[in-house]
């Protein structure tokens, strides 16, 4: 079992959420990675924060702890299929979230997120919520 960690889970961890950090400790030897989208969202959050230098340093440290999965043609093929399928059902999901989901599906990873409402609409995507 390998995990793709969503942005909100990283933020919960950085804010010392007990449940999330306990899962990280319990699963310390289990492979975990980030989407390059999550990395970008963390950079964005750091750049708009009051403590830019501190938060950028934290983001860079996070990127040293977790391998970052870049967007590939295979991920974008999955993205295109998902987006078309969801649109036909009238279920719009933010493109960034769809790319994260596509990354998890393409690499057969379990997506760890607190955003279950959006991601549960994606057929075949395995999700865990470490916040609860």
Domains and CATH numbers, the chain: 3-128 (3.40.50.1010)
CB 132 within 8 A of CB 19: yes
**How confident is the model over 83-101, as pLDDT tens digits?**
999 999 999 899 999 999 9
DSSP string, 19-84: HHHHHHHHTTTS-EEEEHHHHHHHHHHHHTSS-HHHHHHHHHHHHHHSPEEPP-HHHHHHHHHHHH
What tens digit of pLDDT does each residue of 43-52 get?
Answer: 999 999 999 9
pTM beyond 0.85, yes or no: yes
List of residues 6+ apart from 40 with CB closer than 8 A: none
Residues 23-42: pLDDT tens digits? Answer: 999 999 999 999 999 999 99
């Amino acid at each position: 079992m390998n995990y793709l960690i969503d942005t909100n889970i990283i933020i919960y961890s950085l804010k010392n959420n007990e449940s999330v950090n306990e899962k990280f400790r319990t699963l310390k030897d289990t492979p975990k990675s980030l989407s390059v989208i999550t990395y970008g969202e963390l950079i964005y959050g750091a750049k708009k924060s009051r403590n830019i230098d501190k938060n950028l340093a934290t983001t860079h440290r996070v990127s040293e702890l977790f391998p970052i999965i870049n967007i590939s043609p295979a991920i974008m093929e999955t993205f295109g299929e998902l987006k078309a399928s969801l649109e036909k059902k009238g279920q719009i999901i933010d493109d960034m979230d769809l790319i994260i989901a596509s990354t998890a599906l393409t690499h057969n990873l379990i997506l760890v997120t607190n955003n279950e409402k959006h991601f549960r609409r994606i057929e075949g995507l395995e999700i865990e919520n470490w916040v609860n």
